[in-house]
Structure 1
Amino acid sequence: MPTNKRESFVYSLIMCFVMVFWMSMYNVGMNAGAFNGEIIKTAWVGLPLGYLCAFLLDWFVVSGPAKKFAFKLLPEAPSTLRMVLTISTCMVLPMVIFMSLYGSIEVLSHTHQWNQLFIMWGTNILKNVIMALPFQLIIAGPLARKIFRTIFPVGTIVA
């Protein structure tokens, strides 16, 4: 886990990339009804804007309140695993809500069926939380932490 603001910033960059790219492939694949090279290409093309949106939401909107809420749920001296799982869960849920809205708006900007916004958003929240939470806890979180600590061993990013 990051230990200061700079580490949190770099870790967030890595985590957002992993989550946004995977969830973009998942959502494009769900809408297309298939998973193939074209899905990966479409997700990659849409990645920069989705990544920017997710990072800004994570850094400026979700992270602070989610961590405060997580620490209210945790006991006085939680284990590292419990802290990671609690914070990750508290981060994923609001990010799914915001990014599902982003995805709905992105799709509707092409179809112009704006009367479907709330139905699509609600449906996307359900579909995305089913994928995002386990993916974050089992794959993306450990992968991002491994990448982060491989590139930046403890103490190499000075506060």
Structure 2
Amino acid sequence: MPKTKLQDIFFTALMAFVMVYAMICYNISLAKSGLSNEVFLMAFHEMLIMWPIAFILEFFIVGKLAKILAFRFVTPQDKPIFILLAISSMIVCIMCPVMSFIATILFKNAGSQIIAVWLQTAVFNFPMAFCWQIFFAGPLVRFIFRTVMSIIPNNNEITE
């Protein structure tokens, strides 16, 4: 969808925000044994750390790697929805364990159980991350992106 580097930055930042915020809320809810209104505010403390990390990983590494992996399953001639789903799935497959590891180090106080806590965190996070990305965050962010891009004039349309 993004056609320029600036659009790619905007799209990635927005997607990272939506995904990270939801996953932080989910993990806090798991830790507190339930969702409450305070979880939505508590999540912003971790967002300050996790959102930039997710953006940098996605923008510079994971996005490119996910496309390489996705095109092992699909071809450029396939329907766009299949390509989109393949790339989105590969992003979740890479980002979920990586971000779960980072969250385990920063927020879980795992001590000597770091590998076990990381694996448990990744296993708990994966179904949520996958469903959230495919069914909610992906469509929402693409809708917002299309809407914003339709409002901003194209360079070819700017007249003096």
Q: Same fold (TM over 0.5)?
A: yes
Equivalent position SS for 2:30:
helix
Equivalent position SS for 2:75:
coil
Equivalent position SS for 1:153:
helix
Map 1:18-33 → 2, pairs under 5 A: 18-33=18-33
Structure 1, unpaired ranges of 5+: none
| Distance of 2:79 and 2:137 partners within structure 1 | 20
| Distance of 2:84 and 2:151 partners within structure 1 | 17
| Distance of 2:144 and 2:117 partners within structure 1 | 34
The structure 1 residue matched to 2:130, chosen from 133, 137, 144, is 133
| Distance of 1:84 and 1:4 partners within structure 2 | 18
Equivalent position SS for 1:97:
helix
Structure 2, unpaired ranges of 5+: 156-160
Q: 1:49 to 1:6 in 2, by over 3 A?
A: same
Matched, 1:119 2:116: yes
- The alignment's C-alpha RMSD in Å is 1.7
Q: 1:63, CA displacement in angstroms?
A: 1.1
What's 1:34 paired with? 34
Spell out, residue by residue over 1:115-156, the C-alpha distance to the aligned partner (whole angstroms, 9 max, x if none): 011011000111111100011000000000001111112995
| Distance of 2:127 and 2:138 partners within structure 1 | 16
Matched, 1:72 2:52: no
Spell out, residue by residue over 1:53-83, the C-alpha distance to the aligned partner (whole angstroms, 9 max, x if none): 1111111221111111112321340111111
Asked if the contact 1:89–1:133 (Cα under 8 Å) also holds between the matched residues in 2, the reply is yes
1:60 corresponds to which letter in structure 2? Answer: F
Q: In percent, how many aligned pairs have the same letter? A: 29
Matched, 1:2 2:25: no
Spell out, residue by residue over 1:71-116, the C-alpha distance to the aligned partner (whole angstroms, 9 max, x if none): 23213401111111000001111100110001101224xx4x4101
Asked if the contact 1:70–1:90 (Cα under 8 Å) also holds between the matched residues in 2, the reply is yes
What's 1:57 paired with? 57
What's 1:144 paired with? 141
| Distance of 2:131 and 2:16 partners within structure 1 | 15
TM-score of the two chains, using structure 2 as the length reference = 0.90
The count of corresponding residues between Structure 1 and Structure 2 is 155
Runs of 4+ in 1 over 4 A off after TM superposition: 154-158
What's 1:17 paired with? 17
Asked if the contact 1:104–1:120 (Cα under 8 Å) also holds between the matched residues in 2, the reply is yes
TM-score of the two chains, using structure 1 as the length reference = 0.90
Asked if the contact 1:23–1:132 (Cα under 8 Å) also holds between the matched residues in 2, the reply is yes
Q: 1:3, CA displacement in angstroms?
A: 2.7
1:44 corresponds to which letter in structure 2? Answer: F
Structure of larger gyration radius: 2
